[in-house]
Amino acid sequence: MNTLKNDLFLRACKREKIERTPIWIMRQAGRYLPEYRAVRKKADFLTMCKTPELAAEVTLQPIDLIGVDAAIIFSDILVIPEAMGMHLEMHEGRGPVFPSPIRTLEDLNNLKTIDPFADLNYVLDAVSLTKRELNDRVPLIGFSGSPWTLLTYMVEGSGSKNFANVKKMIYNNPSLAHAILEKLSSAISVYLSAKIEAGANAVQIFDTWGGILSQDDYQEFSLQYVEKIISEITRKDEPVIYFPKGVHSNLDKLANCGADVLGLDWTMDLGKVRSEVGDKVALQGNMDPTVLYGTDEVIKKNALKTLKSFGNGSGHVFNLGHGILPDIPPSNAKALVNFIKENSQQFHS
Amino acid sequence: MNTLKNDLFLRACKREKIERTPIWIMRQAGRYLPEYRAVRKKADFLTMCKTPELAAEVTLQPIDLIGVDAAIIFSDILVIPEAMGMHLEMHEGRGPVFPSPIRTLEDLNNLKTIDPFADLNYVLDAVSLTKRELNDRVPLIGFSGSPWTLLTYMVEGSGSKNFANVKKMIYNNPSLAHAILEKLSSAISVYLSAKIEAGANAVQIFDTWGGILSQDDYQEFSLQYVEKIISEITRKDEPVIYFPKGVHSNLDKLANCGADVLGLDWTMDLGKVRSEVGDKVALQGNMDPTVLYGTDEVIKKNALKTLKSFGNGSGHVFNLGHGILPDIPPSNAKALVNFIKENSQQFHS
């Protein structure tokens, strides 16, 4: 039974009639908040992920400080490969690094099959604790990377410009790539199901690197696994959001992948996508994150443009088209949230 | 009068009937060739650009070594901002750097209006010299960056992940951005006209960063200036190729921007684009550059897929969807070229 005081986000995901457009912001629990940086000073990034009290603390910050309509559990998509046995380092500035990336069948065989209740219990504990502390104020979102996006990190080992290693694998050894993707898919299904069991009201699958693939390769190495995961997640009516950043093709297939909501990056035309997918899915997005560098006037103008682009009716979850940038003033994020709360009623009359 | 021994490329650009599909490769005069690296050992990158003999030498290398159907003059898109007075440094690994990027109206006022015959005469000399040494074997392509792509480099100053500075400019000071774009557009029109006068048989406009903009912003800050330039270039029948990397929207507007050829990156569906733009423009592209990491079999399979995707008839210039990567074996590039030469006749019967 839904006892949430504010369930606008969930109702928008299900395209139910609502009073105004809900908003949350990707990376809303992050470095742009001084309160986050204060916690981060006390513990490194992975320690924060692995300490439920700290993860819960920063997850709640944007609810109190910015006023968003949903919380998203503080964690990282790379906790899965780490739980599978890959050594993960987080380097300030350089990003995550796997010093021993996966390149061979032997590397694959060394990856252990994870049980999220044992291997990722710290995430589940963080979800339960956050749920308690949220006290039903807003829904809580759990998330995972897509198999393809995780594979990309696991094979490249660190930030990449051309993704040469993972591309070499899919072209020269596609069966190895598929075997790793299979293993990841099973892990992700179980992981997201466990998050829902622990209290997550919705889950989002981040496919950050889907857009580096040709259309056929995207279908073969990414989308088919996402579809499999979505069909396997154990859930009641918790919506699944799929965010295929940089993927602009096959909207019809995307709309039929099983997700309740498609996340769009800022290069997509929200209105055009809506007219193409009809009422098959709700849409999330998609203001350019750099708009938040702008003046109050610029932020309001572009936020209104995004609302207008979606148009009248339900099925829109306002968000940026990618994560909030670390040097955005929190007051600008708050101005955006307030604007959406105060000016989106007109699209739901 | 066209005295070229091989003018397949030019005829494909004009969608004339031809015997087979022509091929050239973006960055074909580049680091993947040991013969290029031998020249590069003797002179730094900018010295190579500014020494017509060296520029001509490396421009000709892929004609002799790889067998492509067109030459593209060795140069860099950043010679224009440098000629305008910006100090440019080329850092191995890190890429180009402008230590004093453009941020203010005063910075704009310090940019000089260039006369390509005085300020970029070394490029024009390189074009003339290359034309002589090519001896009409294949056509020669000249190129420029688009105003938006040049602005991005000039404002960011160096490689950027989020393009925060140029985005701040377009959102908070759009009139300054437009003033710089105007100045760049005039310079580029004159520059490309001068290249054609010096002997270039075609010109390509690289819009490497068009895809980081929302659709409205792309229209306002990039495409309208490209249209202006194309309409202003002095030319007889030399085709203009426009390559808006990462831009996947408004195909109809792209097809009507005045370019004879649209370059597509590898995330586009060549066949679908062809069916949408009809016979308004020829198409160039678009095999994933990382396919060239593959075995001979992988390369042939994907090359054939690209040919099939375009389908029967003229109007296709084979190319990669982005520049060839520096660690590709030259024999793989040659295998691709040979395959296209030997297997594309069936699409022109």
Q: What is the CA radius of gyration of chain A?
A: 19
| CATH number attached to the domain at B24-282 | 3.20.20.210
Mutant choice from B168, B267, B272, B295 vs A, greatest count of A C-beta within 10 A: B267
- The yes-or-no answer on residue B31 being catalytic is yes
- Which residue does chain A place closest to B214, by CA atoms? A267
Alpha-carbon torsion (A144, A146, A147, A148), positive or negative: negative
pLDDT tens for A172-187 read: 999 999 999 999 999 9
Q: Do A269 and B215 touch (CB under 8 A)?
A: yes
Run of H or E residues at B72 = strand B71-72
Catalytic residue flag (residue B11):
no
Q: Is the pLDDT of residue B237 over 60?
A: yes
Contact assignment for B290 to A327 by CB distance below 8 Å: no
**What is the structure's pLDDT at A104?**
96
Chain A residue closest in CA terms to B291: A171
Of the ranges A94-98, B289-293, B314-318, which one carries the lowest mean pLDDT score?
A: A94-98
pLDDT for B245 beyond 90: yes
The torsion angles phi and psi of A58, rounded to 5 degrees, stand at -75, -25
- Residue A294 CA to residue A290 CA, distance in Å, equals 8
| pLDDT score recorded for residue B217 | 97
From the list B162, B171, B246, which residue is nearest A298 (CB)? B171
Distance CA B59, CA A87 (A): 45
CB contact under 8 A, B168 and A293: yes
Distance CA A241, CA A70 (A): 13
Neighbour-count burial for B200-220, b at 16+ CB within 10 Å, e otherwise: bbbbbbbbbbbbbbbbebbeb
How confident is residue B279, by pLDDT bands cut at 50, 70 and 90?
A: confident
Residues of chain A in contact with residue B249, where contact means CB-CB under 8 angstroms, are 248, 267-269, 272
Contacts of B266 in chain A (CB under 8 A): 214
| Per-residue confidence (pLDDT) for residue A93, from 0 to 100 | 73
For residue range B61-101, what is the model confidence (pLDDT) as tens digits?
999 999 999 999 999 999 999 999 999 999 877 789 999 99
Residue of A nearest to B166 (CA): A290
Question: Measured between alpha carbons, how far is A214 from A228 in angstroms, rounded to an integer?
Answer: 20
Q: What is the pLDDT of residue B191?
A: 98
- Tell me the percentage of chain A whose pLDDT exceeds 70: 99
Minimal Cβ distance to B171: which of A215, A290, A325: A290
Based on the residue annotation, tell me whether B103 is a catalytic residue of this protein. no
Nearest Cα of chain B lies from the Cα of A66 at a distance, in angstroms, of: 22
Q: B325 phi and psi, to 5 degrees?
A: -85, 150
**Residues in B touching A289 (Cβ below 8 Å):** 162
Whether the pLDDT of residue B1 is over 70: the answer is no
At residue A104, what is the residue type?
T
- ipTM comes to 0.94
Averaged over B192-205, what is the pLDDT?
A: 98
Verify whether the Cβ–Cβ distance A215 to B267 is below 8 Å.
yes
pLDDT for A44: 94
Which residue did the predictor score with more confidence, B349 or A127?
A127
Section B39-59 average pLDDT:
97
Q: Indicate if the alpha-carbon torsion angle B324, B191, B35, B44 is positive or negative.
A: negative
Least confident range from A16-30, A87-101, B56-70: namely A87-101
- pLDDT single digits (tens) A140-149: 999 999 999 9
Closest residue of chain A to B301, computed from CA coordinates: A171
Of all residues in chain B, the one with the smallest CA distance to A159 is B161
Q: Model pTM?
A: 0.96
Structure tokens, B311: 């389908």
Mutate to test the interface with B, among A167, A209, A276, A290 (most CBs of B within 10 A): A290
Give me the catalytic one of B7, B15, B36, B153. Answer: B153
What per-residue confidence (pLDDT) applies to B160? 85
pLDDT at A91: 85
Q: How many CA atoms lie within 13 A of B308 on its CB side?
A: 6
What are the helix (H) ranges across A146-294? 147-156, 164-172, 174-198, 215-218, 224-232, 251-255, 270-277
CATH of A8-348, picked from 3.20.20.210, 3.80.10.10, 3.30.420.40, 3.40.50.300, is 3.20.20.210
| Partner-chain contact A172 B294, CB within 8 Å | yes
The whole-angstrom separation of Cα A302 and Cα B171 is 10
List the single residue in A171, A215, A293 with the smallest CB-CB distance to B298. A171
Q: Is the pLDDT of residue B130 over 80?
A: yes
Tell me: the pLDDT tens digits for A198-256? Answer: 999 999 999 999 999 999 999 999 999 999 999 999 999 999 999 999 999 889 999 99
For chain A, the residues whose C-beta falls within 8 A of a C-beta of chain B are 162-164, 167-168, 171-172, 211-217, 246, 248-249, 266-269, 272, 288-291, 293-295, 298, 302, 305, 321, 325, 327
pLDDT at B85: 97
Q: Which has more pLDDT, B159 or B5?
A: B5
**Looking at B40, B103, B137, B235, which residue is catalytic?**
B40
Chain A / chain B CB contacts < 8 angstroms: 93
Residue B216: its chain A contacts at CB < 8 A? 305
Mutating which of B148, B171, B305 best tests the A interface, going by the most A Cβ atoms within 10 A?
A: B171
The pLDDT mean for chain A works out to: 96
Average pLDDT, rounded, for chain B? 96
Determine whether B171 is an active site residue: no
User: With an 8 Å Cβ cutoff, are B214 and A288 in contact?
Assistant: yes
- Residues of A recognised as catalytic: 27, 31, 40, 76, 153
Cβ <8 Å between A290 and B213: no
Say if residues A61 and A132 touch (Cβ distance below 8 Å): no
Give the residue from B152, B290, B308 with the most A CB atoms within 10 Å of its CB, the best one to mutate: B290
CB neighbour burial string for B189-199, b if at least 16 within 10 angstroms, e if fewer:
bbbbbbbbebb
Please state, in angstroms and rounded to a whole number, the distance separating the CA atoms of residues B189 and B196: 11
pLDDT at B161 over 90: no
Which segments of chain A are extended strands (E)? 71-72, 89-91, 95-97, 140-145, 202-206, 240-243, 261-263, 282-287, 316-320
